[in-house]
Amino acid sequence: MRMRTLVLMIILTNGLSFFPIPSSAQQTGERLAKQALEECNKGRLARERATRLAHFQQGRILGERAVAAEEGSADAHFALFCNLGELLRIDGESLTSLLGLRRMMNELDRALEINPTHIDALSAKGALLVKLPSFLGGDSEKGEQLLQQVVKQAPRAVNARLALARVKCRQGQHEEAALLASDALAIAQKHKRLDFIPEAEAMLEQARANVGKNKEHRS
């Protein structure tokens, strides 16, 4: 009886050692990664350039701190990638800094190396592959395949649907592009992804206009 009581006391005293306890660094890294991604989203929503720039710069700092706190966190690397990417294209879609582009891609690739199923990172990778020229690492065919995969696997993947809609528009498949853009808009509205709503609305309007033009040409 005494032996059973002693064993029970040992288990109760040291019980926490039987379960994984998140380290303070891990908790800090997760919190910082979340804050960095929030800054990226706030920057996308902001209208004034100075406000956008401030959010993305703060997001980059938080992302760098998140990576330093927990290098093995895919979310930390993705949050840093998000802000680095937005800083590169704050004045438009031209990615002019090769060093900045390389660093951004390294963070994205590291996120996928840590977690190959990270949906946001997969969406971003596919979108970049179809957007970038081949001499900068672009690969339209591979990017489209990746986006198709994400759309099938992730019902809430807004970015992948928008990127794929742009691909379909370039290919002249405007009705399919309109369906993808419509789905992306509905998902963004339902899940309050406010940073994607304007882009989805613009893509849907463009696709529908192209569908209308095609019908006029046929008649």
pLDDT on residue 7 = 38
Does residue 146 sit in the same domain as residue 197? yes
More confident call, 3 vs 6 = 3
pLDDT on residue 15 = 39
Q: What is the extent of the structural domain holding 52?
A: 29-89+99-116
Does residue 53 sit in the same domain as residue 104? yes
CATH code for position 160? 1.25.40
pLDDT on residue 127 = 95
Instruction: For residue 183, give both structure tokens.
Output: 């789905």
Model confidence pLDDT, tens digit, residues 119-159:
999 999 999 999 998 988 899 999 999 999 999 999 999 99
Q: Answer yes or no: is 6 within a domain.
A: no
Does residue 104 sit in the same domain as residue 179? no
Does residue 209 sit in the same domain as residue 152? yes
Q: Exposure pattern of 65-98 as b/e (b: 16+ CB <10 Å)?
A: bbbebbeebbbbbbbbbbbbbbbbeeeeeebeee
Q: What is the mean pLDDT of residues 37-51?
A: 95
What percent of the chain has a predicted confidence (pLDDT) above 90? 75
Does residue 110 sit in the same domain as residue 155? no
- Residue 39 burial by Cβ neighbours in a 10 Å radius (0-12, 13-18, 19+): buried
Does residue 83 sit in the same domain as residue 127? no
Q: What is the mean pLDDT of residues 168-189?
A: 96
Position 82, amino acid:
C
Does residue 153 sit in the same domain as residue 105? no
Does residue 40 sit in the same domain as residue 110? yes
Does residue 33 sit in the same domain as residue 107? yes
The model's pTM is 0.82
Does residue 128 sit in the same domain as residue 201? yes
pLDDT on residue 12 = 34
Model confidence pLDDT, tens digit, residues 54-103:
999 999 999 999 999 999 999 999 999 999 999 998 876 655 577 889 99
Does residue 108 sit in the same domain as residue 127? no
Does residue 202 sit in the same domain as residue 161? yes
Q: Report the mean per-residue pLDDT for the chain.
A: 87
Q: What is the mean pLDDT of residues 200-209?
A: 95
Q: Give the Cα separation of 82 and 29 in Å (integer).
A: 16
Q: Answer yes or no: is 7 within a domain.
A: no
pLDDT on residue 96 = 58
For the chain, how many structural domains are there in total?
Answer: 2
